[in-house]
């Protein structure tokens, strides 16, 4: 019995010494070697002892993510830097975060901080916008403001507004934008010398047909085109409610204002239109690019089209005219 107890004590001592040796080996691997050297040693252990990477990483107390990391070579770094510069040239108003999102969409496995480092080393900067930025204004108090009556799903709230530009001969261009507030999709971007309420009704009807139905609500200011009888009648016929924001309160229609800032910054200020026809054609191309290629920061850098593909059309609970989200008449 005494001999058995002595053997057990010797085994315990041996196990303790082996555990100590293992801890010392693990510490040495962590502190005395580079990540590349640790990956090489782990790979050799897997081949020599015919064990899985999981078991080797557990024995060496090394995270598997670091063992599976594939470092970017110098050639890849140079290619990456060139691609970043190409994107910066194509999209001069994009910062490094949106460039990083575009790189990921192309299949680059690169960290956002690495893109920022290359961005700075290359001396890249976001091009300054034209003009002086306007000061922030407080939220409006009207109940139909976008922060008080937010969209609850795809095709719940569409918002529309006008923005103005000029052709090269100095003549005015009037752009109508129609946005889905939830998915951020640009549903329509139309340019005219002038635009009547009937033309707006036709555009609305065409978009509603493509979307499989009209919106639940439409947000806009109380401009004459939006409050016209022909547009109002179409909204009533289709069962769409109206959300007219307070007069002289564009910040209450924040989604339209935000879209227009991007439209002005990334398209209108970069193009010179020779004619109305050319403006329409280029506008349609930019709309497609905005929906399908441009990463949107508020959508976790998905494109509006990608985000919308994951959304079902919003079906509201049965409501009545007492719902405060409806405005029966535009502001006077």
Examine residue 196 and state whether it is found in any structural domain, yes or no.
Answer: yes
Tens digit of pLDDT for each residue in 244-293? Answer: 888 778 778 889 999 999 999 899 988 889 999 999 999 999 999 999 99
Q: Are residues 302 and 174 in the same domain?
A: yes
Q: Are residues 87 and 184 in the same domain?
A: no
Q: Are residues 80 and 211 in the same domain?
A: no
Q: Which residue has the higher pLDDT, 106 or 326?
A: 106
**Which whole-number Å values give the CA distances from 122 to 73, 78, 88, in the listed order?**
18, 11, 11
Q: How confident is the model at residue 3 (pLDDT cuts 50, 70, 90)?
A: confident
Instruction: Kindly report the CATH number assigned to the domain that includes residue 235.
Output: 3.30.420.10
CB-based contacts of 258, cutoff 8 Å, min separation 6 = none
CB-based contacts of 224, cutoff 8 Å, min separation 6 = 197
Whether residue 323 has pLDDT greater than 70: no
Q: How many structural domains does the chain have?
A: 3
Q: How confident is the model at residue 142 (pLDDT cuts 50, 70, 90)?
A: low
Task: Record the pTM.
Answer: 0.62
Examine residue 316 and state whether it is found in any structural domain, yes or no.
Answer: no
CB-based contacts of 10, cutoff 8 Å, min separation 6 = none
Examine residue 208 and state whether it is found in any structural domain, yes or no.
Answer: yes
Examine residue 233 and state whether it is found in any structural domain, yes or no.
Answer: yes
Q: What are the structure tokens assigned to 300, written together?
A: 């976790």
- Per the CB < 8 A criterion, the answer to whether 307 and 299 are in contact is yes
* Least trusted range by pLDDT, from 114-128, 191-205, 210-224: 114-128
Q: Are residues 47 and 80 in the same domain?
A: no
Give the whole-angstrom CA distance, residue 99 versus residue 293. Answer: 12
The candidate with the shortest Cα–Cα distance to 96, out of 113, 80, 82, is 113
Q: Are residues 211 and 255 in the same domain?
A: yes
Q: Are residues 52 and 94 in the same domain?
A: no
The backbone torsions φ and ψ at residue 164, rounded to the nearest 5 degrees and listed phi first, read -115, 145
Whether residue 55 has pLDDT greater than 60: yes
Give the whole-angstrom CA distance, residue 135 versus residue 200. Answer: 31
Examine residue 110 and state whether it is found in any structural domain, yes or no.
Answer: yes
Query: 3-state DSSP call for residue 177?
Result: strand
**Residue 56's domain spans which residues?**
1-68
Q: Are residues 54 and 174 in the same domain?
A: no
Q: Are residues 194 and 300 in the same domain?
A: yes
Q: What kind and span of H or E run contains 163?
A: strand 157-166
Give the whole-angstrom CA distance, residue 153 versus residue 220. Answer: 18
Examine residue 235 and state whether it is found in any structural domain, yes or no.
Answer: yes
Average pLDDT, the chain: 81
| Percent of the chain residues topping a pLDDT of 90 | 34
């Amino acid at each position: 019995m005494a001999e058995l107890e002595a053997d057990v004590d010797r085994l315990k001592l041996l196990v303790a010494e082996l555990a100590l040796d293992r801890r010392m080996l693990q510490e040495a691997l962590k502190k005395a070697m580079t990540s590349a050297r640790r990956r090489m040693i782990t790979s050799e252990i897997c081949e020599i002892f015919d064990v899985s990477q999981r078991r080797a990483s557990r024995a060496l107390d090394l995270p598997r993510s670091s063992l599976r990391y594939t470092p970017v070579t110098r050639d890849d770094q140079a290619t990456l830097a060139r691609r970043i510069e190409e994107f910066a040239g194509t999209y001069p108003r994009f910062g490094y975060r949106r460039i990083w999102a575009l790189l990921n969409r192309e299949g680059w496995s690169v960290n956002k901080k690495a893109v920022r480092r290359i961005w700075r080393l290359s001396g890249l900067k976001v091009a300054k916008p034209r003009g002086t930025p306007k000061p922030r204004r407080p939220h409006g108090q009207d109940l139909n403001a976008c922060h008080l009556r937010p969209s609850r799903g795809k095709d719940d709230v569409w918002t529309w507004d006008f923005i103005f530009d000029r052709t090269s001969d100095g003549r005015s261009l009037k752009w109508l934008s129609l946005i889905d507030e939830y998915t951020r999709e640009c549903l329509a971007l139309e340019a005219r010398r002038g635009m009547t309420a009937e033309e707006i009704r036709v555009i609305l009807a065409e978009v509603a047909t493509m979307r499989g139905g009209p919106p639940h609500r439409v947000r806009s200011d109380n401009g004459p085109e939006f409050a016209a009888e022909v547009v109002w009648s179409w909204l009533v016929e289709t069962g769409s409610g109206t959300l007219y924001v307070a007069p002289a309160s564009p910040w209450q229609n924040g989604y339209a204002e935000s879209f227009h800032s991007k439209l002005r910054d990334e398209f209108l200020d970069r193009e010179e239109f020779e004619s109305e026809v050319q403006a329409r054609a280029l506008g349609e191309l930019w709309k497609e690019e905005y929906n399908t290629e441009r990463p949107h920061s508020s959508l976790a850098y998905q494109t509006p089209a990608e985000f919308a593909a994951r959304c079902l059309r919003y079906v509201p609970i049965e409501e009545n005219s007492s719902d405060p989200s409806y405005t029966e008449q535009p502001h006077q």
